[in-house]
Chains A and B, each alone.
Chain A
Amino acid sequence: MPANPEPAGPSATLPPRAKLAVTAGKVAAAVSRTAGRGSGSVIGGKVALRLDPDLLRSLAENLDVVLVSATNGKTTTTRLIAEALKAAGPVVSNALGANMPAGITSALADGSDARFGVIEVDEKYLVGVAKDTAPKAIALLNLSRDQLDRSSETRMLAERWREGLQGSEAVIIANADDPLVTWAASSCRKVVWVAAGQAYREDAWSCPSCGGVMQRPGEDWFCPSCGFRRPQPHWALQGEHVVDPQGQGWLIQLQLPGRANLSNATSSAAVAAVFGVHPQIALQRMQAVQAVAGRYESVQFGGREVRLLLAKNPAGWLETFTLIDQPPAPVVLSVNALSADGTDTSWLWDVDYERLVGHPVFVMGQRKLDLAVRLEVAGVHFQVVETLAQAVAAAPPGRIEAIANYTAFQQLRRDVRG
C-alpha cells in the first residue's frame, strides 16, 4: 500500500474569509442539529456559501477531487470509491448523500486533513460543481428517466454534461454501455471507458447524437444513421469480475447485493486506478462497505427480518427486482409522491411490476392506490396495508423485501427504528 502523503487538507491553508465562512457554517449546522432538524449539513453549507461564494473552490483547492454523478448508484459508488481511495490517503466525502453545492461545501469543510475529496453530485449540478472543484476524475455511471415533473429531460441532461465537461482536465470514467453517458463523455479529452452494463434501456433507443433508431445486438450498440457507437471499453464488468485494461480479471466480493453494485464496483475500481490504487486492493477495501445510508440494510422488525431497498425510478426498480429473494419471499412496496419523490406517479407504469408475480405483495405509502391499480393490471396478487407493522404481521414466512421510493424509504427507516 502506498504510504500516507503529507496531510494537505482542504481547510489547512484557507484564506481568512473562507475560514470565517467555514466557522459560520459549522455554527449554523450545530444550531440546526440542536433544533432537531437533521444533520445540519445543508443549512451549514448554505450559510458558509453566502459568506464566501468561492468557498467550495477554496476547499477543493488542496484536494484531489473525484466527482460521481448518475441517475442511480451515486451514493453507493461514492462510498465505494471513498473506501478504495483510503488505501492512498485520507478521504473526505459527502457520504450521506447531500449532493447539491451547499451539502458538498459542508462535507468538505469537515475534512481538514484529507487528501481526497470524493463527492456525489446531483446530475443537474455536475457541471457547476466541476467548474468549482477542478476535479481530477469524474465518474459518470448512467442516465435514465427520473422525476420528469421536476427534472430536466434525460437527453437534455446528457447534452448539458457534454457541453459543460468538454473542456475539463479531469479523467472521465464513463459507462460505455449507456449511450447517453457515452454521448455526454465522448467530447472530453481524457476518457476511461467502462463496460459497466445497462439493465434499463428505454431511454436509449433514440440516438443522442442524430435521433436515429439505435441498434443493440447483444452487448453492443450503434446508430446506423450517423455511426455513433459504443466505444471500446478499457475496463469491463464480466459476471462477477472486474476486467482491468491488461485483461486481468479480479473477483468482486461485496456485501452489497445485485448487478448494479457489481457495476458500481467496476467503475469504482477504474476510478481508484487513476490514483494508483491497484484493483485488487480497491476491491478488497470495497468489501468492507455494508449498508449505505440505510440502503440494503437488513433489520429486525416485529420479530421478522426486513431488508430495506431504495428504488426511485424505473431503472432503479428494475435493478432491485433482480436482487430480491425468489418467490414466495414476501415483498412490501411503498410509494410516496412528495416533491422529493416527484409528484407524478405515471412512472409506475414504466416499471415491470409483472416481475413480482408469485410473490405475496403488500402495498403501502401515500400512493398505495396507484400501486394497487398498477399491480392489478400486472396480474400480481397484493394486499393494501396502512403500515409496515400490518404488512409484517400478515406476511408469510421468509425475509421480507421492502422496496420504497425516496421519502417512503426514509419513512420505512423511521418505522423500523420504532
Chain B
Amino acid sequence: MSESALRLVWVYPDLLSTYGDRGNVLVVERRARQRGLEVARIDVRSDQPIPTSGDIYLLGGGEDRPQRLAGERLRADPGLGRAVENGAIVLGVCAGYQIMGHEFIDDMGQRTPGLGLLDVWSTRGEGARNVGDILAEPDPRLGLPTLTGFENHQGVTHLGQGVSPLARVTVGGGNGTGDGTEGAWRDTVFGTYLHGPILARNPGVADLLIKLALDVSALPPADNTWYEALRAERIAAVQQPAQ
C-alpha cells in the first residue's frame, strides 16, 4: 500500500451495513480507481480500533440494536473524532447519521449519546415510518444535482445551529421534522437518510467526497452512462408514482 493511496475506511461492517450501504464503499473505491487513484480500503470491525489516518470514513445503516452497539463502541474509541479533527471526510447514512449526532433513541427506547460530530439529535417519529423513494435538492453550495435515494426510518433528526441541511426534500420524508430538510453537513462531515445506496444513485456525492479528500476542485471525467440512466429512471418514477 503506497503512502499516496486514498485511505477509505468502512466503519463497522459487522453492525452498520444492513441496507446495502456496502455499495457506498464499492462506488467510492471504483470511482477513485477510475481516476487513476490508488485506494487502500480498510474494513474495521467493531472489535477493532478505528484508524485515525483515514481520508474517507463511511458509516452505513443498521438495525436498532446494532446501532446502539455501534454507538457504544464508537464512543469508547477516540479514532473517528481524531480523524475528523485532522480533516477527514465522513459520510454517515441513517443509523450512521444518527450516531454522529448528539443523541439518538436506542432499541430499548432510551435516549443514547452519540458522537457529537454533527450538531443534530434524533428522536423517534410518532407517525408512520418513512419508507420509499425520496428526492431532494441539495444545498447549492455543494454543486450537486438532485439527490435520489430510498429511505426507511422511524427516526426524526433535528438540526442545530452548527450544521446546514444537506438538501431540501421534494418527495419523501427526509429528516422527518416537517420543515422539508434532509440530512445535515458541516465542513467535511455529512449525514443523510438516503439509502439506494446514496453513492450509487448519486455518483456526484461520491466524487465530492473524493475531491474533498484530495483537496481538489475537479476530477478527471468518468463514464456516468449507467448512473445517469438509473437516475433519470428513478427521478421519473418518483415524480409519477402511479404504478
Residues in B neighbouring A372, C-beta threshold 8 A: 226, 229-230
Bound: A369/B236 CA distance, A: 13
Do B132 and A205 have beta carbons less than 8 Å apart? Answer: no
Shortest CB distance B149–A (Å): 9
B226 touches A349 (CB 8 A): no
Distance in angstroms between the alpha carbons of A150 and B150 in the assembled complex = 13
The answer to whether A377 touches B200, judged by C-beta atoms less than 8 angstroms apart, is: yes
A265 CA / B1 CA spacing, docked (Å):
45
- Do residues B20 and A346 form an inter-chain contact, with CB atoms below 8 A? yes
Closest to B200 in A: A373
In contact, A153 and B64 (Cβ under 8 angstroms): yes
Task: List B contacts of A156 (CB < 8 A).
Answer: 63
| Beta-carbon contact of A211 and B19 below 8 Å | no
CB of A373 within 8 A of CB of B230, answer: yes
Q: In which size bucket is the chain A interface? A: 20 to 34
**B46–A349 touching, CB < 8 Å:** no
Q: Mark B18-30, 1 if CB is under 8 A from A, else 0.
A: 1111110011001
Whether A373 pairs with B65 at a CB distance below 8 angstroms is: no
Report the minimum CB–CB distance from B32 to chain A (whole Å).
12
Candidates B15, B69, B197, B230; contact of A346 at CB < 8 Å: B197
A interface, over-half SS: helix
Binary contact readout B195-215 vs A (1 if CB under 8 angstroms, 0 otherwise): 111001000000000000000
Shortest Cβ distance from A402 into chain B, in angstroms? Answer: 21
Interface size class of B (residues with CB under 8 A): 35 or more
- Alpha-carbon gap, A345 to B230, bound state (A): 12
**Whole-angstrom distance between the Cβ of A377 and the nearest chain B Cβ:** 5
A297 at the interface (CB under 8 A from B): no
Name the one of A148, A149, A205, A377 contacting B26, with C-beta atoms under 8 angstroms.
Answer: A377
A377 x B230 contact (CB < 8 A): no
**Complex contact B131–A376 (CB within 8 A):** no
Say yes or no for B187: interface residue by CB 8 A criterion.
Answer: no
**Beyond known contacts A347-B19, A348-B20: 7 more, CB 8 A cutoff:** A202-B17, A205-B45, A206-B14, A206-B66, A346-B19, A349-B21, A373-B227
Query: Which A residues fall within an 8 A CB radius of B?
Result: 145, 148-150, 153-156, 202, 205-206, 211, 213, 343-350, 369-370, 372-374, 376-379
Q: What 8 pairs between A and B have smallest CB-CB spacing?
A: A349-B23, A346-B20, A205-B14, A349-B20, A213-B47, A369-B230, A153-B63, A372-B226
Seen from chain B, the residues whose Cβ lies within 8 Å of a Cβ on chain A are 13-15, 17-23, 26-27, 30, 45-47, 63-66, 69, 131-133, 150, 152, 195-197, 200, 226-227, 229-230, 233
